[in-house]
Each structure stands twice: as structure tokens, then as C-alpha cells.
Amino acid sequence: IAGITQAPTSQILAAGRRMTLRCTQDMRHNAMYWYRQDLGLGLRLIHYSNTAGTTGKGEVPDGYSVSRANTDDFPLTLASAVPSQTSVYFCASSVVASGANVLTFGAGSRLTVL
Amino acid sequence: GQNIDQPTEMTATEGAIVQINCTYQTSGFNGLFWYQQHAGEAPTFLSYNVLDGLEEKGRFSSFLSRSKGYSYLLLKELQMKDSASYLCAVNNDYKLSFGAGTTVTVRA
């Protein structure tokens, strides 16, 4: 089934550890995004990529890094996790064109940092 | 900066109509989206408005006034399965900024 796959589904992590959340899409979308969702705050953009080889910072990029080596994969790395990074992380993709930029979301990765 | 406001919670009865308002103040505007998110699941696309006026899609309609920075999502003939969070999002330079979401509870 075409769509976006995120891994892991859920993870508990000790503070200070390094963690990479994986995201793969098979829809050949050119743009990909990482959001975090926290209660009362909604979805906030961490990083994005409009095309393979380019990335940009969103609203809350500190403590996170991304890479976009190819069209399909967009991993999100926490170099040294802190408790405030406890959240649900959603990867999304879209076809950036002159019209609507409809995002398709992955199922999410729930991360707990202790 | 982006400022997108919508009510936190709404409750309605099965079969009724509910209107979820969204006001926005953003540095740019390329359209407004509504997404539905059931508890524990990913958001899914509902509607998109880029011009002023009403867009109707079955039981769901969405309205936009760009001059007022205002949109609403209208849910008609409510069903129990419509209990979910509804997210308003503004498209700015092909990046979406989201409001905090409105949790709608449908009661029998």
C-alpha cells in the first residue's frame, strides 16, 4: 500500500542518547516534513525538505537534524535527547506545485525521553 | 510569525450541525486547510480553500474570508464517527502552520 512508513512506532529513550526516527515514502513526493505534536500546542514544524539534497528549518528546529539523500527517505536525528523532546513525531510528504500542498502523514512515532 | 486560533473543544448531538471557527494572522498565505485527526491516529486531509467562499464536500463544508483572516468548517448530520480533532492549517510558502486543534465530541 502506497504511503509513508515511520519507525519506530514507539520508543523510550534515556536523556543524552542519540536517536534517529526513520521516514520512508513511496509516492515520489518531492517535499517531506517533520512535525511534533504536543497536547495543547498542535503540530509544529521541525524541519522540511522541498526536494532531495535540500533541507530547511521550521518553527522548532533546535536539537534536531535531518538529511535528504534521496527522494524517498527523510530521517530525523536527535543528537542528544532531552525530556522536552518527549512528543509524538509525524513525518509527512506532499507534491509541491502551484496548487494545493496536501500533506499525507505517516502514522507517527511516540518518543519518551526520561 | 503565525497565529492560528480555534476553539479547544466542542460538543454536539448526533444528527446536529457543528461549526468550527478558525482565525489566522500569518506572514503569508497560499490557502487554508482543514484536517481530521482521530485519537491516536495521523491527520487526514478534509478540505482546502484558496479563494473566498464556500467549498462543499458531502456532509462537510469549509468557508474562507481572506480579508477577515477567517475560516470555518461545517459538519452536518453529525455521526458518532465524527468525534475527532479538527485542525486548521495555513499554507505559507508551501509549509503548513497548524492551529492547536478543536476536539469535537458527538453524543448520542
Span B80-97, pLDDT tens digits: 999 999 999 999 888 899
Spell out the per-residue pLDDT of chain A, length 114, in tens. 679 999 999 999 999 999 999 999 999 999 999 999 998 889 999 999 999 999 999 999 999 999 999 999 999 999 999 999 999 999 999 987 656 789 999 999 999 999
Inter-residue contact B66 to B22 (CB < 8 Å)? no
Chain B residues with CB inside 8 Å of A35's CB?
A: 98
Partner-chain contact A42 B99, CB within 8 Å = yes
What would the grid cell of residue A44 be? Answer: 509544529
Residue written as grid cell 535527547: A81
Neighbours of B12 (CB within 10 A): 17
Distances (CA, A) of A71 to A8, A29, A45, A91, A102: 20, 7, 19, 14, 17
For residues B54-85, b (16+ Cβ closer than 10 Å) or e, as one string?
eeeeeebbbbbeeeebebbbebeebeeebbbb
A42: nearest CB among B45, B94, B101: B101
Instruction: Report the alpha-carbon angle A64-A12-A8, nearest 5.
Output: 70
* Beta-carbon contacts of residue B71 (< 8 Å; ≥ 6 apart): B21, B22, B23, B24, B32, B34, B49, B62, B63, B64, B65, B88
A106: nearest CB among B42, B99, B101: B42
* Beta-carbon contacts of residue A22 (< 8 Å; ≥ 6 apart): A5, A6, A7, A8, A73, A75
**pLDDT value of position A105:** 97
Does residue B69 belong to the interface with chain A, where contact is any CB pair within 8 Å?
no
**pLDDT value of position B37:** 98
> pLDDT tens digits, residue range B3-53?
999 999 999 999 999 999 999 998 888 899 999 999 999 999 999 999 999
**pLDDT value of position A32:** 96
Does residue A41 belong to the interface with chain B, where contact is any CB pair within 8 Å?
yes
Q: How confident is the model at residue B1 (pLDDT cuts 50, 70, 90)?
A: low
Is the backbone peptide bond immediately before B7 cis, with ω within 30 degrees of 0? no
Residue written as grid cell 495543547: A40
Residue of A nearest to B7 (CA): A40
Residue of A nearest to B42 (CA): A107
